Amino acid sequence: MAKLPDRIKELRKSADMTQEEFGQMLGVVKSTVSLYESGKSTPNDEIKKKICNYFKVSLDYLLGLTNDKYNIPNISDEEWRYPPTENRFGKILTEYRKDNTLTRAEFAEQLDISEDLETKLEIGVNLPSFDLIKKMVSVMKGYTVDYLIGAVDTARVPFGKIEIDGKTYDSMTIKSTFHFKARLEELCLKHGIYSENCEEKTGFSKQEFIDIQWNRMPTLSELLRLSYSFGVSVDYLIGKTDIPLANISNDELELILNYRDCIDIYKENIRKRAHELSIETLNQSVAADEPMRKAVGK
């Protein structure tokens, strides 16, 4: 069975990362990675944890104690599971670059960014701005903003040419990440949520829950409900980030969910009243500041 140095090298190569790029992800220099892979140095517990978290593998697998990569408990009755996933965006970029036989320098030039930034985007150290995502869409034919940010999990992209009756057409292929479904599965396992108890845990009926699990991407309202149920951000659910912390407060989330349950005429009234309240709040703030402005002669 493989040993720790072998596992580290195997995982690094599976991500098509150089020792320098792998070290950047871990926060160590290239020479340290080389020592890990040669067995001349052993990573500390924090580094081991980073490797396991990044590749979503069990510690026993990393240490070479088992060949079971994921060690997901309580699924012996299941025949198949989505593989654990991380760095969704970076993997899309890597796959595109390889499909088009581009070097990192060539891809960076197309995007008008530095090679260093392109590398950091691929290995998940940096996230792109929305302007950069729009630039990517203009360069990466067939890729959409929704696919890149994780709002949908498939894209139809050109893949060579075909000739029919003397006319040439683009041959299309489907790119899929299924990242949302994999992440949902991981969170359900972590929180003990199944189709049998989903209504109690998430508020979804059994049929709604199964439909989201297997058939389609959820709506924004459904994503917000799942976000609230798991205590993670929507961005984490759809794979825009690997940081799970929620980025919306409970009261904001409750307002959004309630708003989406209203009919259109009530929504219009809510928007109007919200605008009025914001103006009233601004006026009250100005009035509260008036004595201070007079005191300082402004």
Q: Tell me: the pLDDT tens digits for 107-142?
A: 999 999 999 899 888 888 788 888 899 999 999 999
Rounded alpha-carbon distances, angstroms, from residue 222 to 51, 190, 225, 231, 238: 32, 19, 5, 14, 12
Residue 11, in any domain of the structure: yes
Whether residues 164 and 230 share a domain: the answer is: no
Among 143, 176, 209, the domain-final residue is: 176
Cα 238 to Cα 247: distance, rounded to the nearest angstrom:
14
Whether residues 121 and 148 share a domain: the answer is: yes
Range of the domain at 250: 179-260
Of 17, 28, 3, 94, nearest to 55 (Cα)?
A: 17
Among positive and negative, which fits the CA dihedral 94, 99, 105, 106? negative
Range from 66-80, 170-184, 248-262, 270-284 that averages highest in pLDDT = 170-184
Question: Which residue, chain included where needed, has tokens 């980073």?
Answer: 50
Whether residues 37 and 51 share a domain: the answer is: yes
The total of other beta-carbon atoms located within 10 Å of residue 283's CB is 10
Whether residues 143 and 183 share a domain: the answer is: no
Pick the more confident residue, 203 or 57: 203
Whether residues 216 and 238 share a domain: the answer is: yes
**Lowest mean per-residue pLDDT among 19-23, 108-112, 125-129, 294-298:** 294-298
Residue 297, in any domain of the structure: no
Residue 52, in any domain of the structure: yes
Mean pLDDT for 139-157 is 88
Provide the CATH number for the domain around residue 46: 1.10.260.40
Residue 269, in any domain of the structure: no
Residue 19, in any domain of the structure: yes
Question: pLDDT band at 253, cuts 50/70/90?
Answer: low
> Angle at Cα 266 formed by Cα 264 and Cα 276, nearest 5°?
120
Domain count, the chain: 3
Cα 39 to Cα 49: distance, rounded to the nearest angstrom:
18
Whether residues 197 and 164 share a domain: the answer is: no
Residue 245, in any domain of the structure: yes
pLDDT at 77 over 50: no
**What pLDDT is recorded for position 143?**
93
Cα 54 to Cα 50: distance, rounded to the nearest angstrom:
6
**What pLDDT is recorded for position 220?**
82
- The single-letter code of the amino acid at 187 is L
**What pLDDT is recorded for position 126?**
82
Rg (alpha carbons) of the chain, rounded to whole number: 24
pTM (2 d.p.): 0.56
Whether residues 171 and 194 share a domain: the answer is: no
- The single-letter code of the amino acid at 152 is V
